[in-house]
Amino acid sequence: MIFKHIDVKPMTGALGAEIFGPNLAKPVPKAEFQEIYKAWLKYNVIFFRDQKITPNQQIVFAKKWGSIHIHPFIKPHPRYPEIIEIKKRETDTHTFGSSWHTDQMFAPRPAKATMLYAKEVPDTGGDTMFSNQYLAYRALSPSIKKVLKDVKIEASGDNQRNRSVKARKDRYSGKSSMKVKAPPKGLKTTSFHPLFRTHPETRKKVLYVGNHVVGLQDFDDREAQPIIDFLREFSARPEFLCRFRWEVGSMAIWDNRCVQHYAVPDYNGKRRRMHRITIKGDVPI
């Protein structure tokens, strides 16, 4: 793929690319944005460095990717309802996002993209890891693909049933600066989606698992749990990964339809603060 308006530096053999050239504080010209978007579809997660942007500029750039999704469980930034401030203080022990997952998998229309902008970072630690779920799907054996072909995952927003992940209320209580809220009345926070979903833009198959998966439709939980555990472990094999070292002013944009991510919880006693915006997605098929 040839890029004329941006410089693209791929990160690993699996996924990820750093993009050089754009200034995201200014309106991004159409031709430049088209190339950024193409690079994003090709590399699944893209990174920018040294960006100096205000919350309003981040919101303007986010809207180029689609309409903004409001998180049902996390209280937004007090002045910018579109933004969640992911923050960890010196006294916090919980790290938001510190398990492999894809954003809002529990929603009927899970997030398409997530944009994370670094405001404060620890001197060491606090990286984010990403895993390519096209590669994970491709690496499964034909036999397991055949057995699980039409299976649907049950994804829950508060993980009450899955033995290997704590419920949301237990994950935050007392140890996190992140403020949890009750989801709006009537909003669906449990959904069934294809385990092997098809990416709506590339049309390629993806393994769709993560920490929100509590069961498999029409399976007994005792049958489902070992399959879920196997798939979750398989989905983060080292050859599917890249890892991003944050600096103040870095921005990452990942495609939740084909990428899982993991916030590495290795910086207790230090501060980290990020501005996150998610973009609405389609019903997975």
Catalytic residue positions, numbered: 101, 103, 261, 276
Q: How far apart are CA 57 and CA 54, in angstroms?
A: 5
Residue 97 binds ligand SIN (CB under 6 A):
yes
Tokens standing for 191? Answer: 């959904």
Q: How far apart are CA 116 and CA 149, in angstroms?
A: 33
State which residue has the least CB distance to ligand SIN. Answer: 97
Q: Is the Cβ of residue 97 or residue 215 nearer to ligand SIN in the bound state?
A: 97
What's the min distance (Å) between Cβ of 96 and ligand SIN?
6
Residue 86 binds ligand SIN (CB under 6 A):
yes
Asked whether 261 and 240 are in contact (CB, 8 A), the reply is no
Residue 128 binds ligand SIN (CB under 6 A):
yes
Q: Determine which residue in the list 8, 53, 253, 274 makes contact with ligand SIN, applying CB under 6 A.
A: 274
Asked whether 47 and 17 are in contact (CB, 8 A), the reply is yes
Q: Is the Cβ of residue 116 or residue 135 nearer to ligand SIN in the bound state?
A: 116
Residue 43 binds ligand SIN (CB under 6 A):
no
Residue 276 binds ligand SIN (CB under 6 A):
yes
Residue 47 binds ligand SIN (CB under 6 A):
no
**How wide is the angle at C-alpha 45 spanned by C-alphas 44 and 46, nearest 5°?**
125
Q: How far apart are CA 52 and CA 186, in angstroms?
A: 39
Tokens standing for 172? Answer: 């935050």
Residue 263 binds ligand SIN (CB under 6 A):
yes
Tokens standing for 189? Answer: 């926070």
What residue ranges bind ligand SIN (CB under 6 A)?
86, 96-97, 114, 116, 128, 261, 263, 274, 276
